[in-house]
Structure 1
Amino acid sequence: MPIWTLHGNGRTVAPGQVVGPDERLSWPATIAVGVQHVIAMFGATFLVPVLTGFPVSTTLLFSGIGTLLFLVITKNKLPSYLGSSFAFIAPVTAATATAGMGSALAGIVAVGLLLVVVGVIVQIAGLGWIDRLMPPVVSGSIVALIGFNLAPVAWSNFREAPLTGTVTLSAVILFSVLFRGFLGRISIFLGVIVGYAFAAMVGELDFSSVADASWVGLPEFHVADLTSPGTWGVIAMFLPVVLVLIAENVGHVRGVATMTGAAVNAQTGRALIADGVATTLAGGFGGSGTTTYGENIGVMAATRVYSTAAYWVAGVTAVLLSLSPKVGAVFNTIPMGVLGGVTTALYGLIGIIGIKIWVDNRVDFSRPVNQYTGAVALVIAIAGFTMQWGDFQLGAIVIGAASALLIYHLGNLIARWRRTGADDGGPLPVIGPLGGDPT
Structure 2
Amino acid sequence: MSMFAWEVVDPAPGQPVGPRQRLPWGRTIGLGAQHVVAMFGATFVFPVVMGLDPNLAIMFSGICTIGFLLACHNKVPSYLGTSASFVASVAAIRAQGGNSADVTGAIMVAGLVLAAIGLLIHFAGGAVVHKVLPPAVTGAVVMLIGFNLAPVVAGIYWPQDQWIALMTATFVVCAAVLLPGFWGRISIFLGLVFGYLVSWIADLLFGDIYSVTPTSGGKPVEHPRISWDQVSSASWFGFPSGKLPDGVSVVHGPSVSLTFVLLVLPGVIALIAENTGHVKAVAEMTGDDLDGYLGRAITADGAATAFASAFGGSPTTTYAENIGVMSATKVYSTAAYYVAGLVAIMLGLCPKFGAVVSATPGGVLGGITIVLYGMIGLVGAKIWVENRVDFGDPVNLVGLAAGLVAGIGGVTLTITDNFELSGIALGTIMVIGYFHLVSWRRPTGSGTHGAGEITRKM
State the TM-score, normalizing by the size of structure 2.
0.87
Matches of residues 287-306 of structure 1 in structure 2 within 5 Å? 287-306=313-332
Displacement of 1:416 in angstroms is 6.9
Deviations 1:148-167 (A, max 9, x none): 00001111211221110011
| Contact 1:141-1:373 at 8 Å conserved across structures | no
Q: In the alignment, is residue 22 of structure 1 matched against residue 48 of structure 2?
A: no
| Structure 2 unaligned residues grouped into runs of 5+ | 204-224, 242-250, 445-458
1:217 to 2:217 alignment: no
The answer to whether 1:361 aligns with 2:387 is yes
Does the C-alpha gap of structure 1 residues 260 and 415 become closer, same or farther in structure 2, counting only changes over 3 Å?
Answer: closer
One-letter identity of the residue aligned with 1:402: I
Look up the equivalent residue of 1:205 and give its one-letter code: I
8 Å contact from structure 2 (residues 239, 349) kept in 1: yes
How far off is 1:241 after superposition? 0.9
- Say which SS state the counterpart of residue 236 (structure 2) adopts: coil
Aligned-partner Cα distance in 2 for 1:173–1:131:
34
Partner of 2:141: 142
Out of 278, 285, 293, the position equivalent to 2:304 is 278
SS at match of 1:168: helix
Q: What do the CA deviations read for 1:51-71 (whole angstroms, capped 9, x no partner)?
A: 011011111111111001001
- Contact 2:118-2:299 within 8 A present in 1 as well: yes
**Maintained 8 Å contact 2:38/2:186:** yes
Q: Distance in 2 between matches of 1:199 and 1:377?
A: 40
Aligned twin of 1:181: 181
Q: Is the 8 A contact 1:232 1:392 kept in 2?
A: no
**Secondary structure at 2:420 match in 1:** strand
Note the alpha carbon deviations across 1:123-157, whole angstroms, 9 max, x for none.
11111111111111100000000000000111121
Counterpart-to-counterpart distance in 2, 1:254 and 1:46: 26
1:238 aligns with 2:264: yes
Q: Secondary structure at the match of 1:14?
A: coil
Question: Could you tell me how far 1:73 is from its partner in structure 2?
Answer: 0.6
Contact 1:71 1:78 in 2 (8 A): yes
Q: Which amino acid aligns with 1:217?
A: G
Q: Cα distance, 1:413 vs. partner?
A: 2.8
Do the aligned partners of residues 68 and 339 (structure 1) sit closer, same or farther apart at CA in structure 2, a change above 3 Å counting? same
Does structure 1 retain, via aligned residues, the 8 Å contact 2:407–2:425? Answer: no
**Aligned 8 A contact 1:240 1:401 in 2:** yes
Q: Is the Cα–Cα contact under 8 Å of residues 86 and 267 in structure 2 kept in the other structure?
A: yes
Deviations 1:276-334 (A, max 9, x none): 11000111111111000000000000111100000000001111111111111000111
8 Å Cα contact 2:407/2:428 also seen in 1: no
Kindly provide the amino acid, as one letter, of the partner of residue 20 in structure 2: D
Distance 1:416 1:39 in 2: 48
**Residue type at the aligned position of 1:141:** A
Structure 1: gaps (5+ residues): 418-439
Counterpart for residue 191 of structure 1: 191
Q: Residue type of the partner of 2:253?
A: V
Q: How does 1:37-186 map to 2 (within 5 A)?
A: 37-97=35-95, 98-156=97-155, 157-186=157-186
Distance 1:373 1:321 in 2: 46
Residue 3 of structure 1 corresponds to: 5
Q: Report SS of the residue matched to 2:86.
A: helix
Of 431, 435, 440, the residue aligned with 1:413 is: 440
- Tell me whether 289-298 or 128-137 shows the greater mean CA deviation: 128-137
- Distance in 2 between residues matched to 1:43 and 1:13, nearest whole Å: 32
What number of residue pairs does the alignment pair up? 409
Deviation readout 1:83-129 (Å, 9 max, x if unpaired): 00000111112213422111111111111111111111111111111
Asked whether the equivalents of residues 234 and 393 of structure 1 are also in contact (C-alpha less than 8 Å), the reply is: no
Over the matched positions of the two proteins, sequence identity in percent amounts to: 45
Give the 3-state SS of the residue equivalent to 1:79 in structure 2.
coil
Residues in 2 aligned to 1:392 and 1:201: alpha-carbon distance in whole angstroms: 48
Native 8 Å contact 1:162 1:337 kept in 2 = yes
Secondary structure, counterpart of 2:237 in structure 1 = coil
Shift of 1:395: 2.8
CA–CA distance in structure 2, aligned partners of residues 244 and 189 of structure 1: 23
Letter in 2 for 1:199: S
Post-superposition shift, 1:414? Answer: 5.3
Per the normalisation by structure 1, the TM-score is 0.91
Kindly report the root-mean-square deviation, in angstroms, between the aligned alpha carbons of the 2 structures. Answer: 1.5
Q: Which moved more, 1:268-277 or 1:379-388?
A: 379-388
Partner of residue 200, structure 1: 200
* CA contact 1:95–1:101 (8 Å) conserved in 2: no
Q: Does 1:391 align with 2:456?
A: no
SS in 2 for 1:387: strand
Decide which moves more: 364-373 or 388-397: 388-397
Q: Matches of 1:390 and 1:195 in 2, distance apart? A: 44
SS in 1 for 2:111: helix
Alpha-carbon displacement from aligned partner over 1:342-369 (angstroms, at most 9, x marks no partner): 1111000001100011111111111222
Corresponding position of 1:318: 344
Matching residue's letter, 1:225: S
In 2: Cα distance, 1:338 partner to 1:255 partner:
32
Q: CA deviation at 1:48?
A: 0.8
Deviation at 1:38, TM superposition (A): 0.4
What SS is found at the alignment partner of 1:393? Answer: strand
Question: Aligned pair in 2 of structure 1 residues 13, 343: CA closer, same or farther (>3 Å)?
Answer: farther
8 A Cα contact 1:30 1:309, kept in partner: yes
Residue 404 of structure 1 aligns with which residue?
431
Contact 2:408–2:424 (CA<8 Å) still a contact in 1? no
